Amino acid sequence: MILVTGSSGFIGRHVVKALKARGEKVVTCDYTDATVEPSDLLAFLEEVGAPIRSIIHMGAISSTTETDASKIRKVNIDFTFQLNQWCAQSGVKFIYASSAATYGLGSIGFSDREDDVYQRLLKPLNLYGRSKLLADRKVVRYRQSLEDNESQWVGLKFFNVYGEGEDHKGPMRSLVTKIRDITLKGEPVKLFGGKAIHAARDFIYVKDCINVILWFLDNKENGIYNVGTGTSRTFMEMAELTLKALGKPPVITLIDMPSALEGKYQYFTQAELRKLRSIGYENEFSSLESGITDYLVSTKG
């Protein structure tokens, strides 16, 4: 039996679907359409116990504009650590979602190192990124403090994920989905101009993220790993490729960046994948061209 938190969310839905396709018995945890609500989960785990052999923790407050520090600490840090602790003590595999938001501007690169000296140097740009970094540090310190711990733990630093099933994320949707929706409404596509016109991110297709999660389920490696393509592409490229896939001309209007984003905007991200490759992960990642095409074709109509 595998438990998935955030099962009604973007990545969580895909995880549940993939697990069921493999014939796994899945217990879901979320606020809607789930077996158990988050507030009841720890009690549920204590009651059920042994049948749970893996927890895939995708649940979180994922908004990069969230300002309630107490709320985000409770959900993204404390709850993650409680699940990590329960898994370690129960001998249950624990796979959880971290984020590339932990890297901030990337001034010291995008290495998925776990040592505290390095992690202390990371400077996330918002509460969301800081919460993910603090959760990583707590999990690592706790696992390293255990003298005898054979249960697997994995933190996955997802970069910019796009794909089917993110409509509910509102302003946090990927640019691909935003452009698809805007185009369907007949509205113009807008991107930030100025310095942001050169902004580039490591965009990863959600199907590739699921492949990584399933690989860790089938293998025993521990640690924190980047989940990106290792290639950075500009938002302009992403916009043009999306419009092309939609059969629309590449007409894009440039606008000023909102003042609220000044100093909180990641202008560049690119996953370093040496660590993931070194443990034997050999699957190739979708190019931006193939990922966008597959996504928009699979959801057409």
Q: Which residues does 79 contact at the CB level (< 8 Å), separation at least 6?
A: 38, 59
Task: Name the E strands within the chain.
Answer: 2-5, 26-29, 54-57, 93-99, 153-158, 160-162, 189-192, 200-201, 203-205, 223-227, 233-234, 252-255
Q: How many CB atoms lie within 10 A of CB 61?
A: 16
- Measured CA angle at 144 (ends 279, 139), to 5 deg: 85
- Catalytic member of 169, 207, 244, 264: 169
Task: Assess whether 281 carries a catalytic annotation.
Answer: no
**CA-CA distance, 93 to 2, in Å (whole number)?**
9
Distance, in Å, from the CA atom of 12 to the CA atom of 177, rounded to the nearest integer, reads 18
- Beta partners for residue 97, in sequence order: 156
Work out whether strand 189-192 and strand 252-255 pair parallel, antiparallel, or are unpaired: parallel
CA torsion angle for 278, 281, 282, 285 (degrees, to 10)?
Answer: -110
- Note if 267 is an active site residue: no
Q: What are phi and psi of 249, to 5 degrees?
A: -70, 150
Which of 96, 103, 128, 162 is catalytic? The answer is 128
Query: Catalytic residue positions?
Result: 128, 169
